[in-house]
Structure 1
Amino acid sequence: MEKIYYEITNTKGNIPIAIFYHYKAPIQSVKAHWHRALELTLNLEGTVDFYNGNQFETLHENEVSISNSGEIHYSIPHFDCYEDKIVGITLQINYDFLKSLIPDLEETYFKINNPNIQTSIANSILKICKLYDSNNNNRYIKIFLQLLTIIDLLYENCRTKYKNKATKKTKEILNYIHLNYNHDIHLYQVADYFGYSREYFSRMFKQEIGLSFKQYLDNYRIDKSIQLLINSNQTILEIAYATGFTNENQFIQTFKKYYHLTPGNFRKLLFEDK
């Protein structure tokens, strides 16, 4: 079992950023997490559902989503096939570096509403990736210039009224779910464990995370089941029990609801692709 709600951001070499490439796949991990770094994700193909704090948005081609420091976030891409192709880029900007430039960073919240700003940031992200993969002797200087351009665009055009980050209690609740998803846990039990009424806990969870407790728990269990379908020889029944489902049929029906195929067919498709 594991703690997943907090992510450590490792920067690249001499520059205060981390870069992640996303490849095309019909089923990808869905995990709520948070970190101190500011995160920008550029979608290059298809659509991706993003949850940042309690805000939901669908990202289309060449659009950028931003996750602020300390904000719980996750995403769900929508593809129907595998392909060795980059369909998204995530850029994380080191918190301490940002703090040195923006002293009031803790009271600053960014939201990208202007399409022209989206395009400018997207172009800078692409330039950073191209420079990083090049052998240009002064690539770090040029990367810094593009990074400062992004920060300037955000600061001058995207600052909004301060929005409270997810509470410490919400992060503790997510951690509890991540540690106990493979047990038979229910909303009322988790609410009682944290000292909330069932009604208040249900409202608070949906407001903070953007999904109901059951939707989030089902998503997390399905994510874990996919890892077992790919990396183990366990039967469908064994995987159902290992990921907290009460029986095989419940697992199959939940899997179909999210991905429109059975776990068995997913495993078969995976081996056919290989």
Structure 2
Amino acid sequence: MNYSHEIIMPNDDIPFKMFVFEGRRGNYSREKHWHRSVEIFALFEGEIEFYVNEIKYSLNPGEFMLVNSNEIHSIHSPKENFTVVLQIPLTTFERYYTDEKFIYFTHSRRIHDEEFMQVIRDMYDAYEKKEIGYDLKVQSYFYELIYLLVSKYREVSVDSEMIRSNKKLNKLSAITAYMKENYTKDLSLESLAQTFGYSSTYLSRMFQKYAKTNYKNYLDDIRLEHAYKDLVNSDMPIGMIASQNGFPNSKAFTKVFQKKYNKLPSEFRKEL
């Protein structure tokens, strides 16, 4: 099968998204983040390293990672890979919620894993060929996948702390969305807390306890992700990249970049 291009499923004709992982060329990292949708990474070629709630998972070809709603995860793909990513709205599973609009799927391997991967492969293949009625064929595979999820991978017994963490991350999602929209501005912890009606101490604790990171690191990661793209895809001076992505100066940007990539931005750019 030829996997040669990135595909994003249109939102207006199917009930989910499917695309090729943006880190397919390797040397790619996606820092800690979370979202409401259920996300599946199906690896067919290469290798990927996952961290989900501080636990490391190494994927080999034929394996997948299932990321639950509001699970904190990061991704590292050091080498080239072919990975199909599915993003499924949480509301797809509303008839199967266990409590507090909550549903949880296991990360453990199951005897149905091979069947699960085959469904994803067939779904992608059907979309790529675009034969008459392909959208119906894709959706038929999609519902087969949903059936496997709720019947073979859903965990019925979940502890109260997991549900509590899920609710807190729902609240944090609004805050982090605001941060992602305003990362170029001077976003202090105090001003952000005031915007959302919290004390700075309480907001700081929310990040530490439920996002497993501190506020400053989270903001630096957002800014670094955008600055990295400018560094790779433009000829802008380092200082300009820093200022346009919210860093107070080039020294602050260099410090964060070097901590992440073990190189100065200028050295990294020369190697590219």
Q: Is the 8 A contact 2:96 2:150 kept in 1?
A: no
Q: Once the 2 structures are TM-superposed, how far is the Cα of residue 201 of structure 1 from its aligned partner?
A: 2.2
> How far apart are the structure 1 equivalents of 2:90 and 2:195?
33
Partner of 2:67: 67
CA distance in 2, matches of 1:196, 1:57: 33
TM-score by length of 2: 0.74
Seen in structure 2, the aligned counterparts of structure 1 residues 27 and 56 have a Cα distance that, compared at 3 Å, is same
- Select which of 248, 258, 262 maps to 1:256: 258
Q: CA deviation at 1:45?
A: 2.5
Give the aligned CA root-mean-square deviation in angstroms. Answer: 3.3
Partner of 2:95: 103
What is residue 15 of structure 2 aligned with on the other side? Answer: 16
Cα distance in 2, alignment partners of residues 47 and 66 from structure 1:
13
The Cα offsets for residues 113-172 of structure 1, whole Å up to 9 and x where unpaired, read as: 234343332222122112222365565565444323322221112222463355553122
Residue of structure 1 in register with 2:172 after alignment? 170
Task: Determine the structure 2 residue equivalent to 1:247.
Answer: 249
SS at match of 2:184: coil
Give 1:259 deviation, angstroms. Answer: 1.6
| Closer/same/farther in 2, CA of residues 11 and 194 from structure 1, 3 Å limit | closer
Does structure 1 conserve the Cα–Cα contact (< 8 Å) formed by 2:49 and 2:75?
yes
Measured in 1, the distance between the counterparts of 2:11 and 2:250 equals 42
Letter of the structure 2 residue corresponding to residue 224 of structure 1: H
- Pick closer, same or farther for the CA change 1:112–1:138 going to 2, 3 Å: farther
Q: CA deviation at 1:251?
A: 1.3
Match of 2:126 among 123, 128, 131: 131
Unaligned runs of 5+ in 1: 1-7
| TM-score normalised to structure 1 length | 0.74
Q: Do 2:9 and 2:17's aligned partners in 1 also have CA atoms closer than 8 Å?
A: yes
1:151 aligns with 2:146: yes
- From 216, 229, 236, the equivalent of 2:238 is 236
- 1:29 deviates by 5.4
Q: Please state how far the C-alpha of 1:107 moved relative to its aligned partner.
A: 3.9
Judged with a 3 Å threshold, the aligned counterparts in structure 2 of structure 1 residues 137 and 9 are, in CA distance, closer, same or farther, namely closer
Counterparts of 2:206 and 2:254 in 1: how far apart (Å)? 29
The 3 A distance-change label for structure 1 pair 57 and 203 is: farther
Q: Which moved more, 1:216-225 or 1:230-239?
A: 230-239
Is contact 1:48-1:77 (8 Å) kept? Answer: yes
Question: Who is 1:45 aligned against?
Answer: 46
Q: Which has the higher contact order (CA 8 A, sep 6+)?
A: 1
CA distance in 1, matches of 2:185, 2:115: 47
For residue 230 of structure 1, report the CA deviation from its aligned partner. Answer: 3.3
What percentage of residue pairs aligned between the two structures are identical? 27
| Equivalent residues of 2:19, 2:85 under 8 A apart | yes
